[in-house]
Amino acid sequence: MNHQLLREIPKVDELLRSSTLGRFCGEMPRVLLAEAVRGELDALRRDILAGAADALPGEEALCRSIARRAKRLMQPSLRPVINATGVVLHTNLGRALMSERSAKAVQQVAMGYSTLEYDIEKGQRGERYSHVEGLLTRLTGAESAFVVNNNAAAVLIILSALTAGGEVITSRGELVEIGGSFRVPDIMESCGAKLREVGTTNKTHLSDYAGAICADTKALMKVHTSNFRIVGFTESVAREEMVALAHAHGLIAIEDLGSGSLYDLNRFGLRDEPTVQDSVRSGMDVISFSGDKLLGGPQAGIIIGKKEYIDILKHHPLTRAMRVDKMTLAALEATLMSYAEGGAAEDIPTLRMLGTPEETLRARAERLVSLLAEKGVQAETVPVEDQVGGGSVPMQLLPSYAAAVCPESCSADALETALRLGDTAVIGRIDHGRYLLHVRTILDADLPLVAAAVKEALR
């Protein structure tokens, strides 16, 4: 029985010549079409062998499946999705969204020549990092600044250039793993520095640092515990005290700030996230943070601090291997301009999303529910909790709203899959058998698209 069916599967060449397939995919490149035909026929063969098919599909149905497969092959792998998870800095979905101003700056610099390493006033070679250094020092109060590819690279170069061959003292409560196997102890080792852990997981005192200082000590390092919190009976040492101790012994005070907010998040009701300015004011010598977490700019590692140390970093051989390209600099300069002009909360999508008032979110969820109703899809507005994400402010959830769909014709899992694989890919959440579309991270202009995608997915 199976063998008979297998013999009846059409040949690849026959299908490629067939007018039915031509009707469905006339304009598709032949190489892709051939791959789609082979893929579809292989799948069919597997189904028959597994006993999952007891008849061949008609020519029309087969060609339709091939066309769908070919269309998927033509889609770019890196493509836009709609984030309906309510996680603002979603690392898997691209972290911070760039502002319109940043995206425009990138486009201009990408498509034309620029002053990347050209001093236009003197008419001679200029400095790549000069475009953002002035803005960074003005905004943070630091003496000097420069930028590498991401914050992981920033930490690597700081430790390599300033502490190799010596010891770095860090609190046990701050030995974090950020994800993607970036662990503070391992990084130190690979930079040629020896980690001296002090204190306990929940408590570290100034005397712990002081007691560990020896002839080999090069630096005291504070690491922001971005993605976790130790709560309860805890104690850590204030930045100012750490800095005073370091300087009394001729040591460098380093801080890996992680998220690195320039904006006071208390204004959004988010507590305990230090600003970059706080760290600079405390007297830290070298500070690093990400460009695409709470700053809301492009992927970058921003390093600020005392000129004598930043100069050493700028001239270290690793710097050349970690240098940022013109698109990053264009986006970062535009992002920083928004802060400098006082318009960051309006311009920067990350801050806009974190600061959206609850009434606005409820109204947006209600609008989505009514757009869905117009398409014949039943949904209701429900209160939910959103997250900052990106390993920032892990303990505090943001009160928000979602449109909840309880599909009658299929499971929430099936709806999730269909939405993820649809023409407009939508990534939402499943909760107690309901499919939730968190509206904080959906742009207003995308609401009709989301409603249409749900309707299509349920079809």
Interface residue with ligand PLP among 97, 178, 286, 348 (CB under 6 A) is 178
Interface residue with ligand PLP among 258, 305, 407, 428 (CB under 6 A) is 258
Q: Which is nearer to ligand PLP, 57 or 179 (CB)?
A: 179
Q: Which is nearer to ligand PLP, 393 or 426 (CB)?
A: 393
Distances from the Cα of 271 to the Cα of 37, 57, 226, 275, 397, angstroms: 56, 60, 13, 11, 11
Q: CB of 405 within 8 A of CB of 377?
A: yes
Taking CB under 6 A as the rule, does residue 222 contact ligand PLP?
no
Does residue 70 come out as left (phi exceeding 0), alpha (psi in the -120 to 50 range) or beta?
A: alpha
Q: Segment contacting ligand PLP (CB under 6 A): 2-10, 252-260, 416-424, 427-435? A: 252-260
Taking CB under 6 A as the rule, does residue 446 contact ligand PLP?
no
CB of 102 to ligand PLP, least distance (A): 17
Interface residue with ligand PLP among 144, 170, 226, 350 (CB under 6 A) is 226
Interface residue with ligand PLP among 133, 167, 256, 333 (CB under 6 A) is 256
Interface residue with ligand PLP among 173, 199, 296, 391 (CB under 6 A) is 391
Residue showing the smallest CB distance to ligand PLP in the complex: 258
Interface residue with ligand PLP among 140, 151, 261, 350 (CB under 6 A) is 151
Two tokens at 120? 């236009």
Taking CB under 6 A as the rule, does residue 224 contact ligand PLP?
yes
Q: CB of 333 within 8 A of CB of 291?
A: no
Taking CB under 6 A as the rule, does residue 275 contact ligand PLP?
no
Taking CB under 6 A as the rule, does residue 167 contact ligand PLP?
no
Q: Which is nearer to ligand PLP, 37 or 280 (CB)?
A: 280
CB of 313 to ligand PLP, least distance (A): 16
Which positions ≥6 away from 424 have C-beta within 8 Å? Answer: 82, 449, 450, 452, 453
Taking CB under 6 A as the rule, does residue 148 contact ligand PLP?
no
Q: CB of 333 within 8 A of CB of 129?
A: no
Distances from the Cα of 100 to the Cα of 38, 242, 285, 331, 448, angstroms: 43, 40, 34, 10, 21
Distance (Å, rounded) from C-alpha 328 to C-alpha 34? 39
Q: Which is nearer to ligand PLP, 23 or 271 (CB)?
A: 271
Distance (Å, rounded) from C-alpha 392 to C-alpha 89? 8
By CB under 6 A, how many residues form the interface with ligand PLP? 15
Taking CB under 6 A as the rule, does residue 83 contact ligand PLP?
no
Taking CB under 6 A as the rule, does residue 171 contact ligand PLP?
no
Q: Segment contacting ligand PLP (CB under 6 A): 144-152, 272-280, 349-357, 416-424? A: 144-152
Taking CB under 6 A as the rule, does residue 239 contact ligand PLP?
no
Q: Which is nearer to ligand PLP, 223 or 336 (CB)?
A: 223
Interface residue with ligand PLP among 173, 199, 301, 389 (CB under 6 A) is 301
Interface residue with ligand PLP among 84, 152, 276, 351 (CB under 6 A) is 152
Tell me which residues touch ligand PLP (CB under 6 A).
Answer: 150-152, 155, 176, 178, 223-224, 226, 256, 258-259, 290, 301, 391
